Amino acid sequence: MPAFLAWITDLEAFLSPSELTLPDTPLYKEETAIWATQKDLKPKVLLRPLTVEQLSQTLAYLNQSDLDFGVRSGGVGSGSAKDVLISMTAFQGFEFDAEAETVTIGTGQIWGEVDRKLEKHAPGYAALSARCSFVGVGGAVVSGGISWASSEFGMTSDPHNFLDAQVVTVEGRILWASEEPDLLWALRGGGGGFGVVTAVKLKVHKYTNLVYSGSIVIPNEALPELAQAATQFAQRTQDPKMAMHIFCLDLAHAALSGQDPSPGIMVVVYDANGEAHGRSDEGFGWALKIKGVVDNTRIMTSTEANQQQDNLRVAMGMTNSYMSAATIPSLSEDLIFRAWKWFNDLLEKDPRQSTGAFVLLEIMQRPAFSSASSPEATAWPRTQNRHILQLGTGTFPGSSDSDALSLKALAKAPYEINPGHTPADYLPSFIESFNDVEAIFGGNFEKLKEVKRRYDPRGRLGGFFA
């Protein structure tokens, strides 16, 4: 019997036919899809365990085998493998505890599903959900977790927000991480690879359903005016209920998502104080006054605010994509000009980059990254910086020259845009080959390596510390 058929037969001993899917089926295509095409390893089989016990048996078997395997939650990450990919999408649990103000949710869900369940079963509450509803719960939490409301309540992985996790170890043990505190600590921003998380227990917060949000589209020629006004806004505003994104509108993503494929600048505003405040001079009135803007802002729920970028999901799995997110201490006009210059220069050097290149400046309030009690309180020790410079490069598959340029340009960009950038300034949510993982995790790096050796001694679950 061929080796491939032998281990398929082994898996069938404890998985039902519905839990084992071969290529060339709609389910396989849907549940093996990841954001960056170049990270798709084309697994030979997709496993979708329906229970924690079946997941336990699966992991114990795979751990003792020589098979290459990976785990994918429910979002847009890069979980793939040459042999076996485990999909977590069957883990859809949702339990709201009104007295404790907590929610226990299965990690096979995307945040949009959780937001809708909260609206139905816990009206008046919000979780620290990702700002794109198609992001997976599991990957977002263990990578730190940033929400529109992070300036008010902290990051999703903070100890006061991420309370516990059900984990299946690579050897098949089932436990709650609070029983073994080093494991729970490692999951709070350590990026995964310590065990397979099947559920997380999170704090939820009483929250308004009258959020002023939406996009303001600004002409390219207004960049100098925007740069000045946005910098002044960031310098004067400390209201934790307010945040803002500045995004360059590139042609290809706009075309793919059904928008007008013309150059421009998009400002996404967020004000949980309500519409009157959001449209005032204390809010985002300065952006609405720029000549030629298109105002797409309105009152919406927090769930709707998280859905605003959902049209970008159409690009999933279509391009070779490379991304990084570096924190920056402050915003300035010069930094904004340098970011736009980097973007335009890249497209001039290689027009094919228009399919994947972007600049996203995330303007936050200082408490977002300083809400943990100390750098040692969570696996990722956080940063003294305040805002985020998120960058992307990439093209449609098929050009090795463009792929090489994508990584090189992305590695150099933070230093060109923010001259004070250091290797420690990156977030753990996007880590590429050029990143210095030890610098990112700083004083926590050695402890994380030790926890990894303890829970996954053979490095079978991958992660940053394998």
pLDDT tens track for 224-239: 999 999 999 999 999 9
Considering the segment(s) 3-87 as one domain, its CATH architecture is 2-Layer Sandwich (3.30)
Q: Residue 420 pLDDT > 50, yes or no?
A: yes
Write the pLDDT tens digit of every residue in 19-49.
999 898 999 998 998 889 999 999 999 999 9
Please state, for a pLDDT cut of 70, what percent of the chain lies above it: 96
Angle in degrees, 0-180, between the axes of helices 52-64 and 3-12, rounded to the nearest 10: 150
Question: Domain spanning 211-439 has what CATH number?
Answer: 3.40.462.20
pLDDT value of residue 438: 97
Computed over every residue of the chain, the mean pLDDT equals: 92
User: How many CB atoms are located within 10 Å of the residue 285 CB?
Assistant: 12
Q: What residue ranges in 107-204 does DSSP mark as E strands?
A: 125-126, 162-168, 174-176, 196-203
pLDDT value of residue 327: 96
pLDDT value of residue 250: 58
Write the pLDDT tens digit of every residue in 56-113.
999 999 999 999 999 998 777 778 999 999 999 999 999 999 999 999 999 999 999 9
Q: What mean pLDDT comes out for the span 210-229?
A: 96
Residues 157, 202 contacting (CB under 8 angstroms): no
Write the pLDDT tens digit of every residue in 129-144.
999 999 999 999 999 9
Q: What mean pLDDT comes out for the span 214-218?
A: 95
Residues 360, 325 contacting (CB under 8 angstroms): no
Q: Give me the residue spans of the domains in the chain.
A: 3-87, 94-207, 211-439
What secondary structure, in 3-state letters, does 333-387 show?
HHHHHHHHHHHHHHHHHCHHHHHCCEEEEEECCHHHCCCCCCCCCCCCCCCCCCE
Question: Any idea which of 31-35, 205-209, 453-457 has the lowest mean pLDDT?
Answer: 31-35
pLDDT value of residue 7: 87
Question: Any idea which of 28-42, 177-191, 311-325 has the lowest mean pLDDT?
Answer: 311-325
- The C-alpha atoms of residue 90 and residue 74 are separated, in whole angstroms, by 9
Considering the segment(s) 94-207 as one domain, its CATH architecture is 2-Layer Sandwich (3.30)
In the chain, the amino acid numbered 381 is P
Q: Residue 1 pLDDT > 50, yes or no?
A: no
Q: Residue 409 pLDDT > 60, yes or no?
A: yes
Q: Residue 256 pLDDT > 80, yes or no?
A: no
| Phi, psi (degrees; rounded to nearest 5) at 285 | -60, -35
Q: Which of 137, 317, 146, 138 is nearest to 243 (CA)?
A: 146
Q: Which two tokens stand for residue 434?
A: 């050029």
Strand, coil or helix: what is 13?
Answer: coil
Residues 293, 223 contacting (CB under 8 angstroms): no
The CA distances from residue 238 to 328, 330, 348, 382, 435, in Å, are 16, 13, 38, 19, 31
Write the pLDDT tens digit of every residue in 367-378.
899 888 899 999
How long a stretch of residues is the chain? 466
Q: Residue 441 pLDDT > 50, yes or no?
A: yes
- The C-alpha atoms of residue 29 and residue 33 are separated, in whole angstroms, by 6
Q: Which two tokens stand for residue 273?
A: 């104080």
Strand, coil or helix: what is 130?
Answer: coil
Query: At which residue do the structure tokens 């899809």 appear?
Result: 33
Name every residue whose Cβ is closer than 8 Å to that of residue 439 and which is 6 or more positions away in sequence.
422, 423, 424
Q: Residue 317 pLDDT > 80, yes or no?
A: no
- The C-alpha atoms of residue 69 and residue 45 are separated, in whole angstroms, by 10
pTM over 0.85, yes/no: yes
The vertex-61 CA angle with 86 and 29, nearest 5°, equals 20
Residues 196, 141 contacting (CB under 8 angstroms): no
Q: Residue 260 pLDDT > 80, yes or no?
A: no
Q: Which two tokens stand for residue 346?
A: 């890249």
Q: Residue 263 pLDDT > 80, yes or no?
A: no
Burial letters 414-448, b for 16+ CB under 10 A, else e? beebbeebeebbbbbbbbeeebebbebbeebbebb
Q: Which two tokens stand for residue 357?
A: 């290149």
Q: Residue 251 pLDDT > 70, yes or no?
A: no
pLDDT value of residue 319: 87
Terminal alpha carbon distance of the chain: 33
- The C-alpha atoms of residue 143 and residue 148 are separated, in whole angstroms, by 16
User: How many CB atoms are located within 10 Å of the residue 205 CB?
Assistant: 16
pLDDT value of residue 264: 82
| Whole-number CA gyration radius for the chain | 22
Write the pLDDT tens digit of every residue in 337-365.
999 999 999 999 998 888 889 999 999 99
- The C-alpha atoms of residue 414 and residue 114 are separated, in whole angstroms, by 34
Q: Which of 347, 215, 353, 205 is nearest to 284 (CA)?
A: 215
- DSSP assignment of 222-270 equals GHHHHHHHHHHHHHH---TTEEEEEEEE-HHHHHHTTS----EEEEEEE
Query: At which residue do the structure tokens 């809400």 appear?
Result: 371
Name every residue whose Cβ is closer than 8 Å to that of residue 362 and which is 6 or more positions away in sequence.
146, 243, 244, 245, 387, 388, 389, 390
Sheet-wide strand order for 294-300: 294-300, 211-218, 264-271, 242-249, 358-363, 387-395, 320-328
